[in-house]
Amino acid sequence: MSRFDLTGKKAMVTGAGRGIGKALAIGLAEAGAEIAVVARTEADLHEVVQEIQDKGGTAHPIQADLTAAGAADEVVAQTVEALGGLHILVNNAGMNIRKKAHEVSEEEWDRVVDLNLKATFFLSQAAGRVMCEQRYGRIVNVASVAGLVALRTGVAYGSSKAGVIQMTRVLALEWSKFGVNVNAIAPWYFRTPLTEELLSNEAFLQEVLSRTPSGRIGDVEDLVGPAIFLASDAAAYISGQTIAVDGGMSVYGF
C-alpha cells in the first residue's frame, strides 16, 4: 500500500462547497478517505457529496456557520458520529474583504478574523482533543502567501493568515508528541469562483503573472497533491511547516 493512500481514514474538510475546498474534499476522497464535507450552503454541499459518491467515495454533508458559538465542537461531534472517527482535518473555510487599510471597519475586521483565524483554531482544538486521545491525527490548514509576504488591500486577511501560520507552528509544538502533525499550505492566486472577477481584470492578471515565476495562475488541482501528502503517512515526520503553493511567487526578487 502506498504511503500516500488514505484508505480507512476519516477526514473533515471545511469550506468544501466550492473552489479550493471542493477540490481538496474530492481529492482526499479519491485517495481513499471518507469525507465529512462542511459548508454554509446546502445546495453546494449536496453537489460535492454527490460528485464524491458518483466517483465511488463516501461523503457526509454538514451544513454549518463555523463562526457561530459552539460550531466547532458540534461539527467535530457530527463527523465522528457520521464517519466513526476523525483522523484528518483540513481547515479551508475563509474569506477576504479587499480594502485599503484606512478603510477597513471593525465589523469587517471581525468577520475576516473570526472565520479565518478564530474558527480555524477552535476547529483544530476540537479535532485535536480527539486526535491526541487516539494518538494519531493530521491537521492541514489552508493559509496564504498573504501570511508570508505583504500584499496590498489585504490587511485583515493577511493578518489572519499570518496568525494561521503561527498557530500551525504552536499546535505542532504541543501536539506532535501525541502523533498529531499540524501543517499548512499557502496558496497564491488560484482560479476559483471567489477570484474569477478579480482575475478577469487584464491589468490585474498581468501584474499577478509578472510576479509569478511559473508564469501562470494556479489551478485548484495544484493544491490537491500537497494536501494529500501532508494528510498521509508519507509526511509522518513533518510538522509545523507551511508549504507555499505559489508558482515561486514568495521567492520573487529583482
**Which runs of E-coded beta strand occur in the chain?**
10-14, 34-39, 59-63, 88-91, 137-142, 180-187, 242-245
Which residues are known catalytic residues? 157
Q: Grid coordinates representing 37?
A: 464535507
Rounded (10°) angle between helices 120-134 and 155-175 = 10
Place of cell 507551511: 242
Q: Is 65 helix (H, G, I), strand (E, B) or coil?
A: coil
CA distances from 54 to 39, 57, 134, 157 (A): 19, 7, 31, 35
Q: Is 193 exposed, middle or buried (0-12, 13-18, 19+ CB in 10 A)?
A: exposed
* Cβ atoms 209, 188 nearer than 8 A: no
Nearest to 151 by CA among 138, 142, 160, 139: 160
| Angle at CA of residue 18, ends 32 and 93, nearest 5° | 85
CA 28 to chain centroid: 12
